[in-house]
């Protein structure tokens, strides 16, 4: 009976396009409000968590627990002076932040927030819309978002914003490839590109046999496709320009990157687009790899865990957990150099992804294996692949010489190694005066040595 109820509540492509106009409008407003509200709370959440990691309170004065601090900052930005650079392209300079915000919010239109429910007598999925290529819509939105950054840097008429925009384009191209290949494994396993179909494909639990013990395993692709999940999450951090991959706005070398010349509401829109993209990509990760709105174990032991409006709670909980990981990375990892960032994307993530897809295709081509055997081999292959990645030597380590050997290899008086006895050497002028007072050593058949 439970299987019939779950099958009835799993949305399909045939369930979309039948809602009345007011219900469609309500879904659109809900998705937009979710993006904005999640941004306001996300900024507060990041400040509180980073403050906790840095052993300081964080915002706690404006509103209860500092919840209104982000709203106060938004009002302050709105009333700041809006400065337009003289050399800027006025039209493009104005619309660039809008492109980034719209692209980030549009990705939420194909995210399933829950199963089909009854709203004022209408049976409808908790999703704005769905198409057979919904995941490609998400990739298109993430690709379009970089246009706002590139155009904003170009239209500013300044050097450093232009460099930040160029970095964003190179960063998007590098990590968009790894992200797309990670989703290929999801397509191969689920057999569909529809987001609601991918969530439905992760609903079937399997049993893994190890050493004669039967272990219940959820159908989440974060477990079955562990390498794809790890690579997708790393590429997602690079796509959203979050630390340690926030190189387009590296303050230490680009002042503020592509946002250097922006102020007031246009600066706030760029900031808003970053946090909306972070929340939307967390929702995409939840949909593709963490079972979407389905409850995690052991909540699934309750028969009504995936019925009604409860799945929205599980979905929001997973999104908040991924946003916490974003904040955790910012509070712990230093920013990479740009050459390290590009080398990691092209020479590490891309080859591993290609090898993993070949392994997965080979496993799926064996039709006479049971599901538990496939899972076991997949887990072993994923473990070997990750260990090889972590411990594979990138270069031959040269033996380190002692400090005395390093000092002896440098010419006398060079910088920066000081004398090993920590005594200040005489100045060059003193050495020259002493050498002039000493008698010159005359070598037979040669002139005196110059000092």
Q: Which structure tokens are listed for 47?
A: 């400040």
**Per-residue pLDDT reduced to its tens digit, 53-111:** 988 888 888 888 888 998 898 888 888 888 888 888 888 888 888 888 888 889 899 99
- For residues 270 and 143, give the distance between their C-alpha atoms in angstroms, rounded to a whole number: 16
Contact indicator for 74, 268 with CB cutoff of 8 Å: yes
Query: Which among 287, 328, 277 is positioned nearest to 200, based on CA atoms?
Result: 287
Question: What are residue 124's DSSP bridge partners?
Answer: 117
pTM of the shown model = 0.77
For residue 46, which of 335, 248, 274, 284 has the smallest C-alpha distance?
274
Residue whose entry in the numeric block shows the structure tokens 């999703």: 127
Q: Is 125 helix (H, G, I), strand (E, B) or coil?
A: strand
- For the segment 14-37, the average pLDDT, to the nearest whole number, is 89
Burial of 261 (0-12, 13-18, 19+ CB in 10 A): buried
Helix (H, G, I), strand (E, B) or coil at 20: coil
Minimal CA–CA distance to 10: which of 202, 186, 187, 283?
A: 202
- What mean pLDDT do residues 112-117 have? 90
Query: How large is the C-alpha radius of gyration of the chain?
Result: 29
pLDDT at 364 > cutoff 80 = no
- Render pLDDT for 394-447 as a digit per residue (tens, 0 to 9): 555 566 666 667 666 665 555 555 555 555 556 666 566 556 665 554 444 444
Q: What is the reported pLDDT for 7?
A: 42
Q: Which of 267, 239, 410 is nearest to 341 (CA)?
A: 239
């Amino acid at each position: 009976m439970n299987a019939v109820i779950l099958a009835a509540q799993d949305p399909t492509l045939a369930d979309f396009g039948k809602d009345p106009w007011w219900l469609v409008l309500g879904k659109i407003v809900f998705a937009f409000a979710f993006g904005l509200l999640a941004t306001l709370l996300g900024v507060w959440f990041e400040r509180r968590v980073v403050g906790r990691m840095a052993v300081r309170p964080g915002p706690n004065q404006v509103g209860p627990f500092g919840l209104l601090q982000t709203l106060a900052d938004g009002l302050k930005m709105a009333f700041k002076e809006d400065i337009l650079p003289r050399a800027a392209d006025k039209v493009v300079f104005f619309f660039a932040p809008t492109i980034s915000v719209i692209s980030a919010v549009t990705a939420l239109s194909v995210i399933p927030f829950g199963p089909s429910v009854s709203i004022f007598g209408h049976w409808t999925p908790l999703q704005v819309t769905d198409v057979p290529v919904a995941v490609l819509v998400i990739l298109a939105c993430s690709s379009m978002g970089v246009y706002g950054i590139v155009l904003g840097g170009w239209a500013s008429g300044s050097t450093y914003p232009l460099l930040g925009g160029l970095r964003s384009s190179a960063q998007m191209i590098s990590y968009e490839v790894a992200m797309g290949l990670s989703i290929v494994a999801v397509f191969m396993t689920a057999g569909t590109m529809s987001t609601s179909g991918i969530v439905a494909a992760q609903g079937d639990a399997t049993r893994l046999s190890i050493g004669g013990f039967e272990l219940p395993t959820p159908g989440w692709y974060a477990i079955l496709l562990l390498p794809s999940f790890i690579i997708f999450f790393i590429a997602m951090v690079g796509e959203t320009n979050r630390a340690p991959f926030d190189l387009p706005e590296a303050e230490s070398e680009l002042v503020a990157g592509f946002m250097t010349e922006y102020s007031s509401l246009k600066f706030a829109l760029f900031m808003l687009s970053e946090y909306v993209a972070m929340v939307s990509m967390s929702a995409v990760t939840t949909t593709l790899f963490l079972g979407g709105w389905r409850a995690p174990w052991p909540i699934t032991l309750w028969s009504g865990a995936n019925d009604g409006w409860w799945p929205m709670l599980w979905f929001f909980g997973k999104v908040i957990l991924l946003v916490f990981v974003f904040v955790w990375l910012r509070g712990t990892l230093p920013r990479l150099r740009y050459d390290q960032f590009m080398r990691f994307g092209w020479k590490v993530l891309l080859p591993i992804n290609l090898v993993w897809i070949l392994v997965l295709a080979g496993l799926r081509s064996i039709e006479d294996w049971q599901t538990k055997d496939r899972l076991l081999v997949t887990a072993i292959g994923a473990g070997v692949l990750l260990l090889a990645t972590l411990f594979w030597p990138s270069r031959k380590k040269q033996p380190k010489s002692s400090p005395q050997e390093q000092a002896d290899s440098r010419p006398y008086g060079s910088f920066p190694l000081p004398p090993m006895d920590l005594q200040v050497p005489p100045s060059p002028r003193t050495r020259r005066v002493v050498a002039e007072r000493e008698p010159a050593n005359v070598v037979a058949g040669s002139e005196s040595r110059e000092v």
